[in-house]
Amino acid sequence: MTKSGKRLYQVTDKLMHCFAWLSAGVVGFNFVLLTANVVMRYVFSSPLMGTPEIVAMMMTWVAYSGMAYTLLNGKHMQLEAIYEKLQGRAKNILSLFVYLLATVLFILLMKASFDVFWSSWLIKEESVASVTVYVFIGKCGAFVGWVLLSIQALLMTIYCLLAVINPDKYEPLDAYSELLDENSVKEFVTEEAMAQAAGEELVETVENGEGGDDK
């Protein structure tokens, strides 16, 4: 824990939050640009030149800017069937293995994306379009995204290592899954059974009422 009460890997919260908002802002920009292009094309017969190329390039920033924030909050899709059955140091060891592997992978991808971006930057790569669109801007978005993911995964790896060493002081990382756990499944089945029983009771009441009217 830090003095602010946050876990070690949460010190990047404001930075990752800013890039998440950047991703949302680019989505808004693309929406406005596409809408304006449609209006200009079909109302004034004068489409905005280069719109498809600009939107395609900016989608890289949409895809990569918010991924580290998602990782920070544990919202990437995970399978927790095994993880949730572990306790204490065993759970921390599994987390350490996963985040260490992720950190290595992200660093390799960061290096590869930098090479692609730098090559594009050196030649000032442009797309073949009606207006000048610099492709390296989009490739820079991929590089920035992998940098953020590498930083976040590294901090989470360090936290997991500390948790392995001292499991009583550091709580295991949370796992998030879209799949229903055992308790949720039981609640869902119970609610469905109650709804079905209520429906059958309503049908029976209606049928009895109709039978009484016939008499």
Q: How far apart are CA 178 and CA 109, in angstroms?
A: 27
Residue ranges covered by each domain of the chain: 8-178, 180-215
Split at pLDDT 50, 70, 90, the class of 29 is very high
pLDDT tens figures, 74-101: 777 666 666 667 677 888 888 899 899 9
What is the reported pTM? Answer: 0.75
pLDDT tens figures, 41-74: 999 888 888 888 889 889 999 999 999 998 888 7
Extract long-range pairs of 79-86: CB within 8 Å, 24+ residues apart.
79/177, 79/179, 80/175, 80/176, 80/177, 80/179, 80/181, 81/179, 83/175, 84/175, 84/181
Q: Which residues of 76-115 are buried (b: 16+ CB within 10 A; e: fewer)?
A: eeeeeeebeeeeebebbbbbbebbbebbeebbebbeebbe
Q: Is residue 69 classed as helix, strand or coil in its secondary structure?
A: helix
Please count the other Cβ atoms lying within 10 Å of the Cβ belonging to residue 197. Answer: 10
Q: Is residue 172 classed as helix, strand or coil in its secondary structure?
A: coil
pLDDT (0 to 100) of residue 85: 72
Tell me the one-letter amino acid at 91: K
On whether the CB atoms of residues 153 and 71 are closer than 8 A, the answer is yes
